[in-house]
Chains A and B, each alone.
Chain A
Amino acid sequence: MYRSQFKSLPFSTPEASKKRIAEKEVKLAQLKLQFEQLLEQYKSSESPETVVKRHVTDLNRYNGVRDAALAMVTMIAEQRSLRIADVLTEMGVEPNEE
């Protein structure tokens, strides 16, 4: 089935190539327009790459802090023979909250 589909594609025809090129040129023009609009909306002194990298770094730090804090909370819960949710509630944190 795959072969028949593959064979049906007009790869080697110049007309088909011209048609695909025309479609891709239209798509590229649309992408360029969208890119310009997004650049107009982007209002930050930092570059988009910097913003994305900082966000990823913050996410890694958040994961580390949360894991360590939960480990200590677990130790406390074991010492006091309580549930982790109870310990977190005592600390003023909603257990289901992120």
Chain B
Amino acid sequence: MPADKSTAPPTSQPLSTPASARILDDGEMMVIASTPMKSPHNKVLPPLEGNLSIPKKRRGLGTPGSKGSYLNTSPLLSPDTSSGNDQNVTPRGSTPLKQNRRSVSTPIFNRPSAGKPTRVVSIHTTPIPELTPPGSNSLLLDTDLPDSLTSSTPSRSFSSPLLYKKIFTSKDGLSPSPSATPLLGFEDQSPSRRALKRKNVNDIAEADTSGNSTGNDSSVHAKLVAKKELKDLRRSEAFLDVEIKKYEDQIGLITRANRYLASHKTSEEPSSPIRSVDALIEKWRSVGQQAASYLLNSALVKVSNMGGYQEYRKRQADRTTRQLVSQFEDEMAGKYEGFIELEEYKEMSALDKKELDERYNEYKRKSEVKTEGHGKKQKTEEEGNAITMKQLFRELNVEYALFFDD
């Protein structure tokens, strides 16, 4: 098989894969490529005509011109939209295809070269479009809605989908009127204007009462005036509630005071069965005094049987000392003795052991001093030859002044 010299490039070299070669009869060497190699047929692409414009592919979109293409279904991109040709326009109310979900108010399709999808300009450089016309204009557009509905072509005036939905979902469903949404004009305005309106509600209401309102804002102003009036009524009602509560409290207080005074006056009469609180206190005070006297006598008898008052005091002091000592032993001595039996104490250095012993001895000495001081204090308090009523009340833990005057 002769080699094609015209088509084969002169510099064509076999690839790195192994190849077999043989010498032909005319003395030329032929290389047989048994493995993949560069094609000997050189295909040259046709020359480029005009500008290279490759449309950007969108996911799920068909080719331009095919059925279901976005460019054909969009009413705004259709070249004959302005002429009223609805053949290529998909109604907004009908079930949209997946490709038609993009908002028609996107600025890219409002450009003159809408047929050619191009790159979207940065949002920072794009001027903010006026999405909604002034309130009065939008309401005027509503009067033409039935025609728009019957033609199944969404009006291009409704650039805001939200406003579109709001108007079309009014109560009557078909003929939204300004009275159905009285605050629609307010919602159309920019946020700053809305804030100003909210801020100066009272000023507007006052202006309305003075007759400066225009015809379009009369219903809104009437609402504001009614709101202000309701607010004033609530304020005056709250004031009345406070006044009523105040007078009810005062009346209750005077009624109670009159009742207490009347009962006190009635109890002073000897024939009256009602006793005042003072009389009841006196009654139970006398009962307490009698009981205390009985208890004191019985205590004196016990003390005399015990061996006298001195013996009683001595026993009392011993009992107190025993209590304090047992308290010390329970608290500190028990802990100390338990600790010195532990391995931890045995592992301590001699210096630490000495310090611990010193602290324990110091605490023991302080507790002994405290016990002796308590005994001396008791002696000074209970000087005398017999137990007194005050000592009895102290032992009983009862307030002496409740029954006896100091």
Contact B233 A61 (CB under 8 A): no
Which of B41-49, B255-263, B346-354 is the contact stretch? B255-263
Contact B258 A38 (CB under 8 A): yes
The interface-forming segment of B84-92, B113-121, B282-290 is B282-290
B230 within 8 A of A: yes
B24 → chain A closest CB, angstroms: 105
- How far does the alpha carbon of A37 sit from the alpha carbon of B292 in the complex, in Å? 50
Given A32-B247, A65-B402, A68-B402, the answer on whether A76 and B291 have CB atoms closer than 8 Å is yes
CB-CB under 8 A from A49, the residues of chain B are 253, 257
- Complex-state Cα separation, A12 to B231, whole angstroms: 10
B257: contacting residue among A21, A28, A48, A76, CB under 8 A: A48
Check if A6 is an interface residue, CB within 8 A of chain B: no
Contacts of A87 in B (CB 8 A): 291
Q: Determine whether the beta carbon of A65 is less than 8 Å from that of B281.
A: yes
Please state if A17 and B230 are interface contacts (CB–CB under 8 Å): yes
Chain A residue numbers with a CB within 8 Å of B295 are 72, 75-76
User: Measured between C-beta atoms, what is the minimum distance from A96 to chain B in Å?
Assistant: 13
Interface residues on A, range: 35 or more
Q: How far is the CA of A25 from the CA of B240 in the complex (A)?
A: 7
Closest B-chain residue to A77, C-beta based?
B291
If over half of A's interface residues share one DSSP class (helix, strand or loop), that class is named, otherwise mixed; here it is helix
Contact yes or no, B256 A68, CB < 8 A: no
| Residue numbers in A under 8 Å from B23 (CB-CB) | none
Contact flags (1/0) for A15-35 with B, using CB distance below 8 Å?
Answer: 001101100110110011011
Chain A residues near B332: list those with CB within 8 A. none
The contact size tier of chain B is: 35 or more
When C-beta atoms are compared, the residue in chain B nearest to A57 turns out to be B277
In the bound complex, do residue B288 and residue A38 qualify as a contact, i.e. CB atoms below 8 Å apart? no
Query: In the complex, how many angstroms separate the beta carbon of A17 from the nearest chain B beta carbon?
Result: 4
Q: Tell whether, in the assembled complex, residue B257 and residue A52 are in contact, meaning their CB atoms are under 8 Å apart.
A: yes
Interface contact B288-A65, CB-CB below 8 Å: yes
Find residues 29-71 in chain A having any chain B CB closer than 8 Å to their own CB: 31-32, 34-35, 38-39, 41-42, 44, 48-49, 51-52, 55, 58-59, 61-62, 64-66, 68-69, 71
Contact with A along B239-251 (1 / 0, CB 8 A): 0110110011011
> Smallest distance from the beta carbon of A85 to chain B beta carbons, Å?
13
The residue on B at minimum CB distance from A39 is B254
**Do B260 and A55 have beta carbons less than 8 Å apart?**
yes
B174: shortest Cβ distance to chain A, in Å?
Answer: 30
A44's partner among B241, B256, B261 (CB-CB below 8 A) is: B261
B230 near A88: Cβ-Cβ < 8 Å: no
22 contacts between A and B (CB under 8 A): A17-B233, A17-B234, A20-B237, A21-B236, A24-B237, A28-B240, A31-B248, A35-B251, A39-B254, A51-B260, A51-B261, A58-B281, A62-B277, A65-B281, A68-B398, A69-B403, A71-B398, A72-B292, A72-B398, A75-B295, A91-B291, A93-B287
Q: A24-B241, A35-B251 are in contact. List 6 more A-B contacts (CB 8 A).
A: A31-B251, A35-B247, A42-B257, A52-B256, A52-B257, A58-B281
